[in-house]
Amino acid sequence: MPLRIGAGSAWWGDRVEPARLNAEKGDLDYLCFETMAEATVSAAQVRKRRDPSFEGYDTYLDDRMRAVLPGCVRRGTKIVTNQGWINPVGAAERIAMHLDGLGAKGVKIAAVTGSLITDRVTSLAKTILENGAPVATLSETLISAEAYLGAEPIVEALRGGAQIVVTGRVADPSLFLAPMIHEFGWSENDVAKLGQGTGIGHLMECGAQVTGGYFSDPGFKDVPDPWDLAFPIAEVEPDGSAVIAKISGSGGAINLMTVKEQLLYEVHDPANYITPDIVADFTTATLELIGDNRVRVSGIGGKLRTPTLKVSMGCTEGFIGEDMFFYAGPGALRRAKLAKTILEERFKIVDLKADDVRVDFVGLNAIHGEATPADAPEPYEVAVRVAARTKTREEALKIGREIDGMAVSGVAMTGKRVPHQDRTREIIGIWSTLVPRQAVPYQIHWRES
C-alpha cells in the first residue's frame, strides 16, 4: 500500500476547509501543514516586540487544529506542521490542550526548536547573498535570523514515537519528505530517493496550486468549481514515485499542466533545487496522466546535500505611508493627473523626507509602471494610490495627512475613504546568508496529551 500524505495548508492565511476534508475523507497516513513565508518569522518577532502577550505561533493554529484533529485522531493520521513559528513548544502545548478537549489521551507531541539563530548569526555568517555585503552590516536593524532546517529532526521525532511534530522554520519540501524517510527507511545518502521525495514535497507544499489554484485563466486554462479547491494528496511508493491526487468530487483539477506549473514554481535552476536534505534535479522528471485528476510523478534526480544551511534574516528598513482616493466617469484620468501634480507640490511644501515616492493610477499603470503602453485606453474609473518609503513613522504619516486634504482642497469629484485603517506600516526587509550546517543544532521537546 502506498504512503498517503495530504497537504493541510500552503501558507499562513490559507483556507481551513480543504484541510478538514483531507483529514476526514483522505484516508491519510500523514497530514502536513506549511504556514511560513520568508517574512512570517520576522513579522512574528515584530508583533512579539509590540505585544508581549503574543504566543509566537501560527495565529490560526486553533482554527486548523479544531478542524483536523477529530478526523486525524479517529483515523490515526499523524501531523507534521511548522505552525510553531518562533514558539514551537508553545504551539505543542496548545495542540495538547485541543487533544485533551477531545479526550484523546496519550498522543505524543514533539516540538522541534533550534532554527532561530538571531543571537549569533553575525558571528556564524559572513556574506549577504543578495548584495555581497558583510552580514555584520545588518546588526543594528536585525530582528530575526532563522535557518532552514531539513527533515532530520522530524524523522528523529517520528522514530521516537511522535504522532504530531510541530516545528519552526523547516524547508517546505522537508515537511513532506520526513514521513517518507521515516516510513520507508531511506538513508541520508540515497540521493535518488531523497531527490524524488523532495520533488513530491515541492509539489505538495503549495497546496491548492497543484489542484488548480493560482492556475485558472478563463477560456485558456479552465478549472472546475474553483471556489471549492481541494488540497492535494500524494500516494507515495517506496521508491519515491508518487501519484498526485485529490478527494473525489472536490473542485479543482490535477493534470499535466497544473503539475508542471507547480514543479517549476519558485525554482531558479531546475537541475539544482537546493534544500537542506538534497539538491534535487527536476530536469529528469517524468509526468504521466493516469486517470481523472491523477498524475504519476517519477524520475526526479538528486545530488548530495550542501555543507551549509540557508538563513533568512529580517531587518527593520523604515516605514511606508500609503493611501488612495478615486475618480470616475468621463475625465477621470485628467483629474487624477492634476491630483498627482497637486500632491507632488504639497510634498515639497511639507518637506516630505522620503527615500522613494510613488503615485500610481490603479487601472492604468500601477502594475506595469513605465512599461505601460502610451496608447493604453483611458479607464472609466481610476484609483490614485500614493505611497512613500521613509526612515521614520512621522514622515510616513505625512502621506495620509496630505491625502485627507484632497477631500476638500483637491480636485473636483474626488472620492475619499474614511481613514479608519492604519495608513503606515513598518517595513521588514528580508536578506539571506549561509551558515555551516553543524553550527545549527536542533532540539526536540516532548509533550503528551
pLDDT tens, residue by residue, 74-121: 999 999 999 999 999 999 999 999 999 999 999 999 999 999 999 999
pLDDT at 42 exceeding the cut of 80: no
Q: Which residues contact 119 (CB under 8 A, 6 or more apart)?
A: none
For residues 218-239, average pLDDT: 95
CB 180 within 8 A of CB 187: no
- What is the C-alpha to C-alpha distance for residues 165 and 31, in angstroms, rounded to an integer? 11
pLDDT at 305 exceeding the cut of 80: yes
- What is the C-alpha to C-alpha distance for residues 431 and 316, in angstroms, rounded to an integer? 11
* Per-residue model confidence (pLDDT) at position 46: 81
For residues 62-71, average pLDDT: 98
- How far lies 88's CA from each of 119, 156, 283, in Å? 18, 16, 36
- What is the C-alpha to C-alpha distance for residues 318 and 391, in angstroms, rounded to an integer? 4
pLDDT band at residue 331 under the 50/70/90 scheme: very high
- How far lies 325's CA from each of 38, 310, 321, 396, in Å? 31, 42, 14, 17
Which range is least confidently modeled, 33-42, 185-194, 294-303, 360-369?
33-42
Residue of 70, 78, 80 lying closest to 24 (CA atoms): 70
Q: How far is CA 439 from the centre of its chain?
A: 25
* Per-residue model confidence (pLDDT) at position 222: 92
**189-215 pLDDT tens trace:** 899 999 999 999 999 999 999 999 999
Residue of 430, 442, 436 lying closest to 124 (CA atoms): 436
* Per-residue model confidence (pLDDT) at position 50: 84
- What is the C-alpha to C-alpha distance for residues 33 and 9, in angstroms, rounded to an integer? 5
Residue of 342, 377, 378 lying closest to 359 (CA atoms): 342
Classify strands 356-362 and 164-167 as parallel, antiparallel or unpaired: unpaired
Q: How far is CA 357 from the centre of its chain?
A: 28
pLDDT band at residue 417 under the 50/70/90 scheme: confident
Residue of 164, 40, 155 lying closest to 95 (CA atoms): 164
* Per-residue model confidence (pLDDT) at position 226: 94
Q: Residue 257 is which amino acid?
A: M
- Determine if the pTM surpasses 0.85: yes
pLDDT at 39 exceeding the cut of 80: no
* Per-residue model confidence (pLDDT) at position 55: 94
* Per-residue model confidence (pLDDT) at position 149: 98
**171-183 pLDDT tens trace:** 999 999 999 999 9
The residue length of the chain stands at 449
- What is the C-alpha to C-alpha distance for residues 233 and 308, in angstroms, rounded to an integer? 31
Secondary structure string (H, E, C) spanning the chain: CCEEEEEEECCCCCCCHHHHHHHHHCCCCEEEECCCCCCHHHHHHHHHHHCCCCCCCCCCHHHHHHHHHHHHHHHCCEEEECCCCCCHHHHHHHHHHHHHHHCCCCCEEEEEECCECCCCHHHHCCECCCCCCEHHHHCCCEEEEEECECCHHHHHHHHCCCCEEEECCECHHHHHHHHHHHHHCCCCCCHHHHHHHHHHHHHHHCHHHHCCCCCCECCCECCCCHHHECCCEEEECCCCCEEEECCCCCECCCCHHHHHHHHCCCCCCCCCEECCCCEEEHHHCEEEEEECCEEEEECCEEECCCCEEEEEEEEEEEEEEEEEEEEECCCHHHHHHHHHHHHHHHHHHCCCCCCEEEEEEECCCCCCHHHCCCCCCCCCEEEEEEEEEECCHHHHHHHHHHHHHHHHHCCCCCEECCCCCCCEEEEEEEEEEEEEHHHCCCEEEEEEC
pLDDT at 45 exceeding the cut of 90: no
- What is the C-alpha to C-alpha distance for residues 288 and 273, in angstroms, rounded to an integer? 22
Counting beta carbons within 10 angstroms of the beta carbon of residue 167, is it exposed (0 to 12), middle (13 to 18) or buried (19 or more)? buried
- What is the C-alpha to C-alpha distance for residues 121 and 341, in angstroms, rounded to an integer? 46
Supply the Cα-derived Rg of the chain in whole angstroms: 24
pLDDT band at residue 48 under the 50/70/90 scheme: confident
- What is the C-alpha to C-alpha distance for residues 87 and 79, in angstroms, rounded to an integer? 17
- What is the C-alpha to C-alpha distance for residues 182 and 200, in angstroms, rounded to an integer? 15
Q: Which residues contact 13 (CB under 8 A, 6 or more apart)?
A: 60
Residue of 99, 35, 54 lying closest to 73 (CA atoms): 99
